[in-house]
Amino acid sequence: MAQLTMVEAINAALSDAMQTDEQVVVFGQDVARQGGVFRVTEGLQERFGDNRCFDMPLAESAIIGSAIGMAIRGFRPVPEIQFDGFTFPAFEQIASHLAKYRNRSRGLLAMPITVRVPSFGGIGSPEHHSESTETLWVHTAGLKVVVPSSAADAYSLLLDSIECDDPVIFLEPKRRYWAREEVVRGTRREPIGRAVVRRTGTTVSVVTYGGLVAVALEAARIAEEQHGWHLEVIDLRSLVPLDFDTVATSIIKTGRCVVFHEGPRTLGMGAEIAARAQEELFWNMEAPVLRATGFDTPYPPGRLEHLWLPGVDRLLDTVKQSLSYDRI
Amino acid sequence: MAQLTMVEAINAALSDAMQTDEQVVVFGQDVARQGGVFRVTEGLQERFGDNRCFDMPLAESAIIGSAIGMAIRGFRPVPEIQFDGFTFPAFEQIASHLAKYRNRSRGLLAMPITVRVPSFGGIGSPEHHSESTETLWVHTAGLKVVVPSSAADAYSLLLDSIECDDPVIFLEPKRRYWAREEVVRGTRREPIGRAVVRRTGTTVSVVTYGGLVAVALEAARIAEEQHGWHLEVIDLRSLVPLDFDTVATSIIKTGRCVVFHEGPRTLGMGAEIAARAQEELFWNMEAPVLRATGFDTPYPPGRLEHLWLPGVDRLLDTVKQSLSYDRI
Amino acid sequence: MDTLIENNLQFLQFIDENGVATRALERDKSLSNVLPGMYATMVAARQVDEEMINLQRQGQLALYPSARGQEGAQVGCASALRETDWLFPQYREIGVFLHRGIDVRGIGLAWRGTWHGGDGFLERAVAPMSIPIGTQALHAVGAAMASKWLADEGVTVAFIGDGATSEGDVHEAMNLAAVKKSPCIFFVQNNQWAISTPLADQTAAPSLASKGVGYGMSAVRVDGNDVVACHVAVSEAAARARSGQGPTLIEAVTYRLGAHTTADDPSRYRDDAEVTSWEARDPIARVKKFLETSGHWHDDLEVAALATAAELRHRLREAVVDAPDPSPLEFFDHVFTQPTAELESQRQLLAAELELEG
Amino acid sequence: MDTLIENNLQFLQFIDENGVATRALERDKSLSNVLPGMYATMVAARQVDEEMINLQRQGQLALYPSARGQEGAQVGCASALRETDWLFPQYREIGVFLHRGIDVRGIGLAWRGTWHGGDGFLERAVAPMSIPIGTQALHAVGAAMASKWLADEGVTVAFIGDGATSEGDVHEAMNLAAVKKSPCIFFVQNNQWAISTPLADQTAAPSLASKGVGYGMSAVRVDGNDVVACHVAVSEAAARARSGQGPTLIEAVTYRLGAHTTADDPSRYRDDAEVTSWEARDPIARVKKFLETSGHWHDDLEVAALATAAELRHRLREAVVDAPDPSPLEFFDHVFTQPTAELESQRQLLAAELELEG
Ligand SMILES: Cc1ncc(C[n+]2csc(CCOP(=O)(O)OP(=O)(O)O)c2C)c(N)n1
Ligand SMILES: Cc1ncc(C[n+]2csc(CCOP(=O)(O)OP(=O)(O)O)c2C)c(N)n1
Ligand SMILES: [Mg+2]
Ligand SMILES: [Mg+2]
């Protein structure tokens, strides 16, 4: 049992998947010779050879488009897009083909492709390197969307994603890349589509995912200490499928919910969770679902991102606001 | 005063804008020689010459990317993307540049570009010709998103969009292209950012836009006749800026709201309206905001689209469900 | 191989528009064996094309893009490949589909709007028709890369149009294929038009084949209305690809005799005279003349070709006219391997709606 | 114009790596007037580059992509243009920025992460740095189209890298520029690497200049470490563009002597020997030698160049070290002409947060 960073855990998952299944191929920009700009794919080319792990020309649409061709011939591609913002040149291949091929072929053709994307902000990157892209994929029917929050979860969810016959957009929170956790090679955690309550509580349900799970847990600790609030923290883990049951169970208990995500607020995941909560739990809500999120502005320059990103304070302010709704 | 189709009204707006402002240029695939596959741009090249209205090679990213370059040099481009689904190859230029240039230049550089897109379903088109793309643009900070519902509104909103110094994604509901309305050249209606109550009522607020406004009005007529329900029908007209005040005023009156849009339900505009309504009008809601929408599946083949698209029945079923919530 | 060009307008042709051989048919024998079959498929393609247009006019199909005039390019190409070679069509490849033996039913139903992508394609190693222009070229390259790893000697073909060459995806595809030496053929049907946009507004290149230079890719320009030239060019390209020599770009110079689709009115943007001049270069008439003058013709050939074509037209009509629609509940079946809970509940909603309606 | 090539490896060079003239400098006179100035700008670029790296190491900048080794290409290009010609850089063009007189402050603050895109660019007809590879090439074409309509004799330059040539946007840009005969120059700094990807994994083309063929575009391959060759090639291309003869593709063959950025460790993927061999071809040393041997050198030149460079380093350091951040409330100012109601309320939220924090 080893304490691995998320980078190492993802590397381990790729390596295990390639070992288990010869159809798994890993490729992208700078993934082979260099082992990835974050070293996530380090050593894979040496170990599995040029045909299983290779570099691609600087062309994102080509990375996804050729993966689709490989999948048609029975492979299980795991392409990497170097950064969140560079999924955009591949948007057409993802939305028009990756997401729709199974449907177009009336179920005959699977698209067992996992698109790995180092994602989200928090590490002071230049423009276009800190985008929250999940809304794009969640709204596009036909894609699964997985967002791990820790090393062990990343290991398990990535193996699940690669084995899954549906296309998965796998968003890796860069800011958690170097956080360590015990990872047991070969064991799995909850499958894709299951949210996990990371901390139980009774005051307010905090629904989050990815890099903000750790922030929410920290906020919950502080809230308990300073205010005596018992926050329940739910890690969604996958946004499609969405485990709304786990969210609902929590809300039924607390009556209150704050969604915590870092992308822009309008039509971020908070909107969908809020819509679902009031639709399905109208009589259970003691307060509206509130959103602690990024702003509806372009992602800011590195020096200012800490003020843009929702952190402990914005979350606790929002929790406080939720608590300001009195029972009638 | 003339009864114009929406196609004619848009053509009139383009023509008037080009007449008024020499910086307005119109271009895209098949817009010049042929006058557009829907004949929206008919006659513009003859009238204004090759430099003001011209055809482009088959490359959507080039259409938007070059528009950005023209805007940098002071022009006011009005590019057309031939169909909704073909905005995807231009996604990067739209999301990474069109939406962000003003911010990147700290306000120095405006992007007075109006991207016209024949949009949405309902006319039995092949795959990729019936997409509802609004979520993509609404979630991307920096874009205005305008969706006219009728000929006269299209005329006025398009002139407003072209005059506006911000980038506008102008989504034209193809299914209303041939519906006629009286259009008074040279006069304007409510500006971008103002919703309009198309029919007043007290029972339930129906919030919609684009091609579904007419369907909602038809449903309201039937609802009144058959059930004695008085539906209030709100036409949002622009999704960014969103006129939530008009929606709120209506909900405060009715206590109930159904959002009616044709794209997939998850993270469609219904999610945002629902989230906002419960956040801001928690105590006013007598029922949750419900959604009558398309499904979370790829857009279906032409022969089945009438069963996929939300129509009068799905809307009235949803209204009925809203009314099933009793006051406590 | 003397047919490959590097940046010039050299134009590979074996049979000219009068049906006269302009170049020695090295493989004369083998070609004369297959040419009658190719002729029959071209005739069938032309006839099925006409039937599709009729069916569209009768409201049975939503839309149809005619391949009239491009049968030589299409059948010449398809006939030079193995059945197992994966093909990635755009949407106008009726000649390719028929050569591969795809049931007209599955093609017709796609254009009826019964289901996207058609039916019976994958079983014949043909990808479903691809509407977003140029995108399928990348799928062809990925499949070619796969063939190389599988060492199955497979070749893939990306069918693209002159318009498609302007799209970024086609560039990325050609570049990738050349870098990876993938066994992929880019078969461009340069039919001179992309809807209303003529070639001159699409590119300033001296030829589309000349684009091969900038990718370090073999390229050849052929008379696309000469089925033999197309067949030979693709045969050679396929042989090269199979032997590890990488991709080839083939520009088949042809003409779209009909409208872009049944929704299009080409009189709005092009002269009749141009169409007439290309009608004189018809790929079908030309083979027939050649077969006649070269002594390979016999009337049974025409009779058989027309009979097969008639049968296909009949079968198409039977399969398509008033064809039943699938259950709309199928919407939810093919999104994922298993529908999500959310999809399940949406299915129930639709099921309830359908029940109400009876 | 004899320097334009069509598909070959011809390589335009005036001064070789030993500082020896390899070709008659036709414009000998005028060049010897400007060469000392170009030398000074190259020295300044090298020095500012070093200061940026220092500042990054000291935690004052978030990141910096060194242009070491590419000064000849950059200054040679920029010096051949008018001040009013619009430039569309990628991100590594420090030599271009300095030649244009952009304040080092505005460049430094961009890499500090104070504001995206930098400051002082637009005033000098330079677009903000563009991070998504290849995308800015299309902006350059649009601006060139605008210049043509404005009849302002303007030329635009798209700066792209060898890696960028693989992106679809660059293809669409070159094709569009050629079709519209736009006054646009595609200036490719082929520095052999795209992060860890060497040219051979990026393209199979015989040269990047050869890509001009498939667009019907003039193209030339120059020694990118020879500032004179770059200057001449761009001058000629600009003259062609201004006289309505359309775009030109210029491949400047150079080398990225440093890491991709300060976050990169090139020892992971390339040999020191390769770097050493290119160090011998340094563009700055070469001009100096040439000036010396051709009798244009005097020590004041070096003194003045170093003094200017030192001043720029100083100014950069002053401007950047512990530079204050803008108010985060500015987030809401530049999204639209006027903030929407929703943005207004988000601004209030942030203002309240900031107040709480004191
Ligand atoms: C990405 C994209 N943009 C636009 C269209 C609309 N469109 C359909 S066919 C066509 C022209 C295609 O021309 P070409 O590639 O020459 O093929 P042809 O139709 O001549 O066979 C266009 C612009 C599309 N289908 N996809
Ligand atoms: C669309 C896109 N994909 C990926 C990246 C990540 N990236 C940054 S620089 C770079 C290499 C660029 O190479 P080249 O064009 O040769 O320019 P150079 O860095 O050598 O100056 C890559 C892949 C990016 N910025 N944009
Ligand atoms: Mg064509
Ligand atoms: Mg490079």
DSSP state letters, D191-248 = -SEETTEEHHHH--SS-SGGGGGGGT-EEEEEETT-HHHHHHHHHHHHHHHHTT---E
Using an 8 Å CB-CB cutoff, list residues of chain D that contact chain A. 62-63, 112-117, 131-134, 163-164, 166-169, 194-197, 201-203, 263-264, 268-269, 325-326, 328, 331-332, 335, 340, 342-343, 346, 350, 353-354, 356-357
A176 and A149 in contact (C-beta within 8 Å)? yes
B13's CB contacts (< 8 A; 6+ apart) are: B154, B155, B156, B158, B159, B162
B86: Cβ below 6 Å to ligand 1? yes
Give which of C24, C56, C69 is closest to C227, Cα–Cα: C69
The whole-number pLDDT of residue C26 equals 61
Cis peptide leading into residue A57 (ω within 30°): no
Is the pLDDT at D22 greater than 80? The verdict is yes
CA–CA gap between residue C173 and residue A65 (Å, rounded): 9
B176 and B214 in contact (C-beta within 8 Å)? yes
Amino acid occupying residue B224: E
Q: How near does any CA of chain A get to the CA of B221, in Å?
A: 26
Q: How near does any CA of chain B get to the CA of D145, in Å?
A: 7
Q: What percent of chain B has pLDDT over 90?
A: 98
The whole-number pLDDT of residue D358 equals 67
Instruction: Tell me what the pLDDT averaged over chain B comes to.
Output: 97
The whole-number pLDDT of residue C328 equals 97
CA of C193 to the centre of ligand 1 (A): 9
B45: Cβ below 6 Å to ligand 1? no
Q: Which of C128, C150, C337 sits opposite A166 (nearest CB)?
A: C337
CA–CA gap between residue D3 and residue D13 (Å, rounded): 10
B 153-172 residues with CB below 8 A of A? none
B89: Cβ below 6 Å to ligand 1? yes
Find the DSSP H helices in chain D: 28-57, 71-78, 94-99, 104-112, 136-150, 168-179, 199-202, 227-242, 272-279, 283-293, 299-320, 341-357
**Parallel/antiparallel/unpaired status of strands A231-235 and A196-199:** antiparallel
| CA C305 to chain CA centroid, nearest Å | 20
What residues of chain C score a pLDDT lower than 70?
A: 1-10, 26-29, 358
Q: What residue segments make up the domains of chain A, in order of their start?
A: 2-183, 196-323
Q: Which helix (H) or strand (E) holds A269?
A: helix A269-280
Contact yes or no for C268 and B35 at CB 8 A = yes
Quick one: average pLDDT of B30-38? 98
D195 and D260 in contact (C-beta within 8 Å)? yes
Is the pLDDT at D1 greater than 70? The verdict is no
Amino acid occupying residue B103: N
Closest ligand to the CA of B85:
1
Q: Which of D179, D181, D213 sits opposite C214 (nearest CB)?
A: D213
Nearest CA in chain A to B96: A128
D282-302 burial: b if 16+ Cβ within 10 Å, else e:
bbbebbbbbbeebebbeeebb
C163: Cβ below 6 Å to ligand 1? yes
D181 and D245 in contact (C-beta within 8 Å)? yes
Q: Which of D168, D175, D203 sits opposite C179 (nearest CB)?
A: D203
Indicate the pLDDT class of residue D11, thresholds 50, 70 and 90: confident
CA–CA gap between residue B280 and residue B275 (Å, rounded): 9
A89: Cβ below 6 Å to ligand 2? yes
D192: Cβ below 6 Å to ligand 2? no
The half-sphere exposure of D4 on its side-chain side, counting CA atoms within 13 A, is 19
Catalytic positions of C, please? 256, 260, 269
Interface test with chain D among B104, B236, B272, by most D beta carbons within 10 Å: B104
Cβ of residue B109 closer than 8 Å to a chain A Cβ:
no
CA–CA gap between residue C175 and residue A132 (Å, rounded): 30
Neighbours of chain B (3+ CB pairs under 8 A): A, C, D
Cβ of residue A105 closer than 8 Å to a chain B Cβ:
no
- Give the number of other CB atoms < 10 A from CB of residue C118: 27
Is the pLDDT at D208 greater than 50? The verdict is yes
DSSP line for A42-65: TTHHHHH-TTTEEE--S-HHHHHH
Neighbours of chain C (3+ CB pairs under 8 A): A, B, D
Rg from Cα positions in chain C = 21
**Parallel/antiparallel/unpaired status of strands A53-55 and A24-28:** parallel
Amino acid occupying residue A91: F
Domains A2-183 and A196-323 share a fold: yes
Question: pLDDT tens for residues B119-147?
Answer: 999 999 999 999 999 999 999 999 999 99
Tracing tokens 């200017």 back to the chain, one arrives at D308
Q: Which atom of ligand 1 is nearest to the CA of C91?
A: 21
Question: pLDDT tens for residues A59-93?
Answer: 999 999 999 999 999 999 999 999 999 999 999 99
Residue A323: exposure state from Cβ atoms within 10 A (0-12, 13-18, ≥19): middle
Q: What residue segments make up the domains of chain C, in order of their start?
A: 11-326, 327-358
DSSP line for C104-146: HHHHHHHHHTSSTT-SSSGGGTBPPP--STTTHHHHHHHHHHH
Helix (H, G, I), strand (E, B) or coil at C87: strand
Question: pLDDT tens for residues D181-207?
Answer: 999 999 999 999 999 999 999 999 999
Which of A210-219, B190-199, C125-134, C348-357 is least confident?
Answer: C348-357
pTM over 0.95: yes
C183: Cβ below 6 Å to ligand 1? no
Helix (H, G, I), strand (E, B) or coil at D337: coil
Quick one: fold of B2-183?
Rossmann fold (3.40.50)
Q: Which atom of ligand 1 is nearest to the CA of C132?
A: 26
C280-310 burial: b if 16+ Cβ within 10 Å, else e:
ebbbbebbbbbbeebebbeeebbeebeebbe
Contact yes or no for A301 and D116 at CB 8 A = yes
Q: How is residue D202 written in tokens?
A: 């990026």
Question: pLDDT tens for residues B289-301?
Answer: 999 999 999 999 9
Which of D91, D133, D172, D255 is the pocket-test mutation for ligand 2 (most atoms within 8 Å of CB)? D133
CA–CA gap between residue D152 and residue D157 (Å, rounded): 15
Q: Which of A75, A92, A240 sits opposite C340 (nearest CB)?
A: A240
Give which of A132, A136, A127, A176 is closest to A153, Cα–Cα: A176
Sheet with A76-79: list strands edge to edge. Answer: A53-55, A24-28, A76-79
Contact yes or no for A303 and D167 at CB 8 A = no
The whole-number pLDDT of residue D2 equals 36
Spot the catalytic one: B128, B129, B261, B306: B129
The whole-number pLDDT of residue C103 equals 98
Q: Which atom of ligand 1 is nearest to the CA of C131?
A: 25
Question: pLDDT tens for residues B231-273?
Answer: 999 999 999 999 999 999 999 999 999 999 999 999 999 999 9
Q: Torsion over CA of D157, D161, D165 and D171, rounded to 10 degrees?
A: -20
CA of D176 to the centre of ligand 1 (A): 17
Question: pLDDT tens for residues D101-135?
Answer: 999 999 999 999 999 988 999 999 999 999 999 99
Interface test with chain B among D147, D149, D332, by most B beta carbons within 10 Å: D149
Q: How is residue D216 written in tokens?
A: 């019907």
Question: pLDDT tens for residues D154-186?
Answer: 999 999 999 999 999 999 999 999 999 999 999
D82's CB contacts (< 8 A; 6+ apart) are: D154, D155, D238
CA of B41 to the centre of ligand 3 (A): 22
Instruction: Give the architecture-level CATH label for domain B196-323.
Output: 3-Layer(aba) Sandwich (3.40)
Is the pLDDT at B7 greater than 70? The verdict is yes
Q: Is B97 a catalytic residue?
A: no
C195: Cβ below 6 Å to ligand 1? yes
Contact yes or no for A287 and B282 at CB 8 A = yes
Catalytic positions of A, please? 129
Give which of D9, D19, D38 is closest to D234, Cα–Cα: D38
CA of D111 to the centre of ligand 2 (A): 16
Give which of A326, A322, A292, A325 is closest to A309, Cα–Cα: A292
CA of A224 to the centre of ligand 3 (A): 67
Contact yes or no for D179 and B57 at CB 8 A = yes
Contact yes or no for D167 and A58 at CB 8 A = yes
Question: pLDDT tens for residues D270-301?
Answer: 999 999 999 999 999 999 999 999 888 999 99
C122's CB contacts (< 8 A; 6+ apart) are: A105, A108, A109, C128
Tracing tokens 């505009």 back to the chain, one arrives at B269
CA–CA gap between residue C33 and residue C228 (Å, rounded): 12
Contact yes or no for B61 and D340 at CB 8 A = no
Q: Looking at beta carbons, which residues of chain C come within 8 Å of D164?
A: none
Phi, psi (rounded to 5 degrees) for D36: -55, -40
Quick one: fold of C11-326?
Rossmann fold (3.40.50)
Cβ of residue B308 closer than 8 Å to a chain C Cβ:
yes
Torsion sign over Cα C203, C205, C210, C212: negative
Question: pLDDT tens for residues A5-48?
Answer: 999 999 999 999 999 999 999 999 999 999 999 999 999 999 99
- Supply the residue whose CA is at minimum distance from atom 19 of ligand 2: D194
Q: Which atom of ligand 1 is nearest to the CA of B128?
A: 25
CA–CA gap between residue A94 and residue A89 (Å, rounded): 10
Q: How near does any CA of chain D get to the CA of B75, in Å?
A: 7
Is the pLDDT at A141 greater than 80? The verdict is yes
Find the DSSP H helices in chain B: 6-20, 44-48, 60-72, 91-92, 101-104, 134-139, 151-163, 212-227, 244-254, 269-280, 305-308, 312-323
C80 and C238 in contact (C-beta within 8 Å)? yes
A288: Cβ below 6 Å to ligand 2? no
CA of D163 to the centre of ligand 4 (A): 5
Cβ of residue A126 closer than 8 Å to a chain B Cβ:
no
D193: Cβ below 6 Å to ligand 2? yes
